[in-house]
Amino acid sequence: MLQTDFTELLRQSDVFGHLDTDALEALGRQLVWFGLPGGRPLYKQSEPADAMYLLVSGSLGSFDGPTELTRLISAGDSVGEISLVSGESRQATVRALRDSELLRLDRAAFEALVSRYPQAMLGVARVAIARLQKRLRNEDSPGNARTFALLPVDAEVPARALAMQLAMALEPYGSCAVIDEEHGAGRGSDWFAEREAQVRFVIYLDTRGDALWRQRCLRQADVLLLPTQAAQPARPWPEGAPLHPSRAGHRPRHLILLHPGRQPSLGAAQRWRAQFSGELQHHHVGGQADIARLARLISGHARGLVLAGGGARGLAHLGALRALREAGHVFDSVGGTSIGAIIGAGVAAGWELGEMTEVYRRAFIEGRPLSDWTLPLVALTRGRRAALMLRRAFGALDIEDLTLPFFCMVTCLSGDGMVAQRRGPLWLWLRASSAIPGVLPPVLHHGRVYIDGALMNNLPTDVMATDGIDHITAVDIRAEISLLTTAEEYATPPWWRLLLQRQTIQRPGLVSTLVRAGMVNSEAPSLHRRERADLLITPPLEHIGMLDWKDWQRAIEAGYVHTLKVLEDQQR
């Protein structure tokens, strides 16, 4: 690589782009070019920091521990500047996800450059501080992929048609090239690096099943796209590498399930996922809208919806959804807690808004899920009516069968704490997510005890952000929930006095106290989680009680009217 290449690359970087020509040329003379094969570590956690690096081509992954990929580093990005400036040891392990080329700037060369051109420190310090602040706030971006290997399980998969449609769907976010065996077989690394530098995205496509070309696709890719016909019997991929995270280099893997119709086939995701181990995302594709959603998800441009818990007030979500849909908002991923998870599951299932409203009206107003009172040895209710309500609404659906990626928050009292549940029977985990302590009994499953997710995370925007979602819309419908009283007492009066005073003295009821107590713990973190939302909607719902299901129409209207106002204010 020529020095002029160094200068142009440095001019485009966030770290050194502000330097003048003389400083860039001086910096270029200090840089050392080298290649790093895929899978090799650049440096390991706790090692002393002796250099920073600029990625010329390929991709790197930052890992917390041996296998947890926390950030993808693309061509043009720098890495290692925080430790270089602070003098601390490396905070993470960085490995090449595929064959990569880098420029190295040693500490001694960096210090000599700064002594001559002090402004060089400004860009490095600015990037280092920004990244450190994001790390301290747990807001690290997972990074965006640029190259994809599209490797079908067999020749029956219409891989070329999928690749071309996906390339068109990626075009709004940058130019995209599709390279197949005819164009790429026998080419050297420089040819591939040159093609990747010319466009924003590259899809490496296999349609013939040639083992050597498939290996080349694997070596060039940031992300693996693994399409199959969902209705076919599940079987392993030919080379086996995509099936295990270590053999795939711990790169993101996306299982693409192709369906002949718009609705996913029940059980198909579970069958095909069983072929894999480790972290794996799957997508149901049955039409153009699904391909557009896939493009947004894999390129880092997806839009997520997060719905909070809050009892009967949660029906305001339906009004907010109506306003958002009228304004043309489309969501690619959904998550929620308690009633927010229940309503979010309807969104993820692809239900129409009218259908959703009717299902939830029957479920909560006619079904009266909290009316099976019992001797309170475990909880005030048996939980049977709540479970039947959810089973009637969602049937045999598993979370994996939902059209959109979905998670619901639960709290595990058996040591796991906060859990984002992404797999398993949908009705069961919705029941766990809404198990208000003392009101509904906990869900006991595989030796563990699960209760309401609101105890630890009532507005899981942080979980959605960790999934790499670019834009998050959050509806926090709890408002200010304060229990007030006109009594002055430290012990409950006899029951007959309670009856006589019920019109004159205000006391909190048992259920209201339990519901309120169950949400106190997540209030302070929720303030930070609100800040993670790009569009935050908080309908005023103080006039509706947490368990006032009879006010369902007022709740929906409040959510609708407030969301319209928020959207109008946003356009000004």
Task: Indicate whether 401 and 262 sit together in one domain.
Answer: no
Considering the chain, what percentage of its residues have pLDDT values greater than 90?
55
So what's the pLDDT on residue 8? 76
Supply the Cα-derived Rg of the chain in whole angstroms: 27
Domain boundary among 283, 299, 315: 299
Task: Indicate whether 528 and 428 sit together in one domain.
Answer: yes
Asked if pLDDT for residue 520 goes beyond 80, the answer is no
- CATH assignment of the domain containing 419: 3.40.1090.10
Is residue 497 in some structural domain? no
Task: Indicate whether 333 and 461 sit together in one domain.
Answer: yes
Q: Give yes or no for a contact between 353 and 318, defined as CB atoms under 8 angstroms apart.
A: yes
Task: Indicate whether 195 and 280 sit together in one domain.
Answer: yes
For the chain, the maximum distance between any two Cα atoms, rounded to a whole number of angstroms, is 92
Buried b (16+ CB within 10 A) or exposed e, 382-409: bbebbbbbbbebbeebbbbbbbbbbbbb
So what's the pLDDT on residue 445? 95
Instruction: Please report which confidence band the pLDDT of residue 3 belongs to, taking 50, 70 and 90 as the band edges.
Output: very low
Q: What's the domain range around 127?
A: 6-137
Is residue 488 in some structural domain? no
Is residue 312 in some structural domain? yes
The rounded distance, in Å, linking the Cα atoms of 169 and 171 is: 6
Mean pLDDT of 7-35: 83
- CATH assignment of the domain containing 70: 2.60.120.10
Instruction: Please report which confidence band the pLDDT of residue 231 belongs to, taking 50, 70 and 90 as the band edges.
Output: very high
Is residue 109 in some structural domain? yes
Is residue 553 in some structural domain? yes
Domain boundary among 280, 299, 318: 299
Report which of 206, 219, 211, 222 is spatially closest to residue 158, judged by C-alpha positions. 206
Q: Give yes or no for a contact between 365 and 347, defined as CB atoms under 8 angstroms apart.
A: no
Task: Indicate whether 178 and 131 sit together in one domain.
Answer: no
Dihedral pair phi/psi, residue 442, rounded to 5°: -65, 160
Asked if pLDDT for residue 533 goes beyond 60, the answer is yes
Q: Give yes or no for a contact between 550 and 365, defined as CB atoms under 8 angstroms apart.
A: yes
Q: What DSSP letter does each residue of 416-466 carry, written as one string? A: TEEEEE-SSBHHHHHHHHT--TTTSPPEEETTEEEEEGGGT-SS-HHHHHH
Asked if pLDDT for residue 44 goes beyond 80, the answer is yes
So what's the pLDDT on residue 117? 82
Looking at the structure of the chain, the number of domains it has is: 3
Instruction: Please report which confidence band the pLDDT of residue 136 belongs to, taking 50, 70 and 90 as the band edges.
Output: low
User: CA angle, corner 183, sides to 180 and 189, nearest 5?
Assistant: 95
Dihedral pair phi/psi, residue 439, rounded to 5°: -95, -55
Asked if pLDDT for residue 234 goes beyond 90, the answer is yes
The encoded tokens of residue 523 equal 């209030």
Task: Indicate whether 440 and 310 sit together in one domain.
Answer: yes
Task: Indicate whether 468 and 320 sit together in one domain.
Answer: yes
Report which of 480, 478, 481 is spatially closest to residue 537, judged by C-alpha positions. 478
The rounded distance, in Å, linking the Cα atoms of 93 and 68 is: 10
Pick from 40-44, 164-168, 509-513: least confident? 509-513
Given its phi and psi angles, is residue 250 left (phi above 0), alpha (psi -120 to 50 degrees) or beta? left
The encoded tokens of residue 70 equal 């926390």
Task: Indicate whether 72 and 204 sit together in one domain.
Answer: no
Domain boundary among 299, 319, 336: 299
Task: Indicate whether 519 and 404 sit together in one domain.
Answer: yes
Is residue 492 in some structural domain? no
Task: Indicate whether 326 and 309 sit together in one domain.
Answer: yes
Predicted TM-score (pTM) of the model is: 0.86
Buried b (16+ CB within 10 A) or exposed e, 232-262: eeeeebeeebbbebeebbbbbbbbbbbbeee
Report which of 9, 39, 47 is spatially closest to residue 27, judged by C-alpha positions. 9
Is residue 41 in some structural domain? yes
Cα separations in angstroms, 423 against 203, 243, 413, 429, 444: 29, 18, 19, 9, 16
Q: Give yes or no for a contact between 522 and 533, defined as CB atoms under 8 angstroms apart.
A: no
Q: Own/partner pairs for 515-518, CB < 8 Å, 24+ apart?
A: 515/311, 515/436, 515/439, 515/546, 515/547, 516/481, 516/483, 516/546, 517/437, 518/436, 518/437, 518/438, 518/452, 518/454, 518/455
The rounded distance, in Å, linking the Cα atoms of 432 and 445 is: 10
Is residue 468 in some structural domain? yes
- CATH assignment of the domain containing 194: 3.40.50.300
**How many residues appear in the chain?**
572
Task: Indicate whether 290 and 308 sit together in one domain.
Answer: no
Task: Indicate whether 546 and 403 sit together in one domain.
Answer: yes
- CA 372 distance to own-chain centroid: 37
The rounded distance, in Å, linking the Cα atoms of 164 and 178 is: 7
Asked if pLDDT for residue 4 goes beyond 60, the answer is no
pLDDT in tens, 466-503: 998 999 999 998 645 566 677 777 777 786 777 777 77
Q: What is the average pLDDT score of the chain?
A: 88
